[in-house]
Amino acid sequence: MEIIAGVDEVGRGPLAGPVMAAAVVLPEDHTIEGLRDSKKLSKLKREKLFPIIQEQALGIGIGKVGVKTIDKINIREATLKAMQIALGNLPIRPDKALIDGHPLKNQIIPNEGIMGGDDLIDAIKAASIIAKVTRDKIMSDYGRIFPEYRFEKNNGYGTVFHMNALNEFRATPIHRRSFNPVNKNMPTLTWLSEQKRIGWMGEKLAALYLKGKGLEILEMNRNCPPHGEIDIIAKNGNEIVFIEVKTAFKTNPDSLDEKVDEQKLTKISHAIHQYQKETEQIDDFRIDCVSVILQKKKPIIKHFEGILLD
């Protein structure tokens, strides 16, 4: 039996977030009903089909290309790269790949481009759904870090709400700088300082850093009156992690550690107890601190795990 992989991508048009691709190999006798181009399915239907495809597929490969690469090589090349990565991540080597749209050049696996393939070929339809649901989950995760932009609703596309947020808060590190609306709204350190958003940006950068280390960001800026705010609440396995963020700009970076003193830790502890009371969280927890030093080049981020309370 010839092994055929269907390949599709999602995320060419958004102003933020990665471009994703999926490669899917389906058995000829699969019993998946309702496969269509993911754009023509409701969110609920896509999410119902997602585990069914995972269960019946002979192989699934995911390709992800982030914003830095998109800005470097352009979105078209990034899309092709994502599809090539997806094919390379298949657990089995297909004899042939069917690509939605144009064929892939410089690809050792024989492939054929099929215009409108996500409405014609089941394997491409399945790849479309896998790529879409996977990317939507990534953007939903970013939505918890950047609630001001509602990425969990718009998935990074230029909705009216998103554009208004760009004008008010400027671009984030997950926005595509090579896209014109983003390029016009890049923040500067001076602007952040004038808008009193140095600490705000530090918290976002800290959350992205922690996410990159494998922590799941649950919530930002949880208010626990009368004890104050918890900057970041994350999860590491079964452990809840409460993170205090300190950000420096035009100040002595060495003074950041001194700001998390015994009085501050006691206040954080009271806020945590209030959070546990409100949410009935009974998981193990720890307190971390992240320091962020903003500068013109890449920010310096330090992560201190497991701050002890007396």
**Among the listed ranges 165-169, 231-235, 236-240, 272-276, which one has the minimum average pLDDT value?**
272-276
Q: What pLDDT is recorded for position 252? A: 56
Least confident of 56-70, 71-85, 105-119, 261-275: 261-275
Which residues lie across from 287 on neighbouring strands? 242
CA separation for the pair 53, 166 (Å, rounded): 36
**Segment 135-173, tens digit of pLDDT:** 999 999 999 999 999 999 999 999 999 999 999 999 999
Contact 35, 49 (CB under 8 A): yes
Separation between Cα atoms, residue 258 and residue 43, nearest integer Å: 48
| pLDDT reported for residue 284 | 82
Tokens encoding 31: 């019993």
In the predicted structure, residue 107 carries a pLDDT above the cut 90: no
Q: Does residue 123 have a pLDDT over 90?
A: yes
Confidence class for position 67, pLDDT limits 50, 70, 90: very high
The b/e string for 56-67 (b: 16+ C-beta within 10 A; e otherwise) is ebbbbbbbbbeb
Q: Is the pLDDT of residue 310 over 60?
A: no
Residue 1 Cα distances to 4, 25, 161, angstroms: 9, 12, 50
| Distance between CA atoms of residues 144 and 111, nearest Å | 39
Give the sheet arrangement for strand 59-65, strand by strand.
Answer: 59-65, 19-25, 4-10, 96-100, 111-114
The answer to whether the beta carbons of residues 48 and 60 sit under 8 Å apart is no
Domains and CATH numbers, the chain: 4-138 (3.30.420.10), 189-304 (3.40.1350.10)
**Is the pLDDT confidence value at 106 over 50?**
yes
Q: Report pLDDT digits (tens) over 177-223.
A: 999 999 999 999 999 999 999 999 999 999 999 999 999 999 999 99
* Sign of the Cα pseudo-torsion (70, 72, 74, 77, in order): negative
What φ, ψ does residue 182 adopt, rounded to 5°?
-75, -45
**Mean pLDDT to the nearest integer, 57-74:** 98
- DSSP calls for the chain: ---EEEEEEE-SS-SBS-EEEEEEE--TT--------GGGS-HHHHHHHHHHHHHH-SEEEEEEE-HHHHHHH-HHHHHHHHHHHHHHT-SS--SEEEEESSPPTT-SS-EEEETTGGGT-HHHHHHHHHHHHHHHHHHHHHHHH-GGGTHHHHTT---HHHHHHHHHH---TTB-TTSHHHHTT---HHHHHHTT-HHHHHHHHHHHHHHHTTPEEEEEEEE-TTS-EEEEEEEETTEEEEEEEEEESSS-GGGHHHHS-HHHHHHHHHHHHHHHHHHT--S-EEEEEEEEE--SSSPEEEEE------
Query: Quick one: pLDDT at residue 297?
Result: 83
How many whole angstroms separate alpha carbon 136 and alpha carbon 151? 9
Where residue 273 falls among pLDDT bands split at 50, 70, 90? confident
pTM higher than 0.75 for the full model? Answer: yes
Q: Which is more confidently placed, 175 or 257?
A: 175
